[in-house]
Structure formats: structure tokens, C-alpha cells
Amino acid sequence: MRIARLWPSTDWESVWKNLQTTPVTEEIKSIWYRVIHDIISTNEQLHKIRLAAFDRCKHYDKQDTLEHRLTECGDGTEMWEWTRQLLALMLRSEPRRITTEWFLRPQLKLWPHKDTGLSCGP
């Protein structure tokens, strides 16, 4: 698999488990699958295969990569900050510690439920 060769240090078993068990629609899972596999067309990729004249973003003077589109460009910035806040909350961390790799290759593991000693049942 091409993506596994590109990112050999990624815990791919966790990535696939996270993708399969995430409680979202199949459409969102399909989009996330394409993001994880880096198969969304960007000007960077199209330029490499000579289908685009430039590898730059249409809106900013930056290379048009998937990471740029999802975290820095247009609505991607707002979605990334929202996702970052949620991941930080779930992982009991600070948003600034959540890297874009966690968004692009979600190999994170949630903390186990903390027993507070309070019982709600018999």
C-alpha cells in the first residue's frame, strides 16, 4: 500500500480502527478515507503529473498540499480549529499539542474511562 510506505511510523491498525468505528455517515468516512490515503487532487499532485501549470494555492501564495487545504485555506482553517479543540478535549490535552498528522492519519487512542468511585446503579 503506497500510503503505508510513505508513512512507515504510523500505527496503521489504529488508523483503520478509528476510521471504521467513528460514528459518522458513510459519506464522511469516504472523504476521510481519501484524506488518509492522500488521494484528493491538489495542485501539488496535478503539477507533478503535468495536469496543472503551478503547484500553488489559488488563494494564498503557498504550495497547494492536502495539509494546506485542510488546515490553512478557506473553511479548512475553521474546521481544523474545531477538530483540534475536540481532539484536545477527548485526549485530555491542549489544542496547541494536537498536530496536523493526527488529523491526516488519526492513529490516536482515547484514554480509558476514569472510575470516579461514584456509582449510578445497584
pLDDT-derived band of residue 118, with 50, 70 and 90 as boundaries? very low
pLDDT-based confidence at residue 119 (cuts at 50, 70, 90)? very low
Size (the chain), residues: 122
Query: Given pLDDT bands bounded at 50, 70 and 90, which one contains residue 122?
Result: very low
User: What integer pLDDT is reported at residue 114 of this predicted model?
Assistant: 52
Interval 11-63: pLDDT, tens? 888 888 888 887 888 998 888 888 888 888 889 989 999 999 999 998 888 99
What is the tens place of the pLDDT at every residue in 61-107?
A: 899 988 888 888 888 888 888 888 888 887 788 988 888 877 777 77
More confident residue, 11 or 108: 11
In sequence order, what DSSP letters do the residues of the chain get, joined into one string?
Answer: -HHHHH-TTS-HHHHHHHHHH--S-HHHHHHHHHHHTT-S--HHHHHHTTSSS--B-SSSSSB--HHHHHHTSTHHHHHHHHHHHHHHHHHTS-GGG--HHHHHS----PPPPPP-S--S--
Is the pTM higher than 0.85? The answer reads no
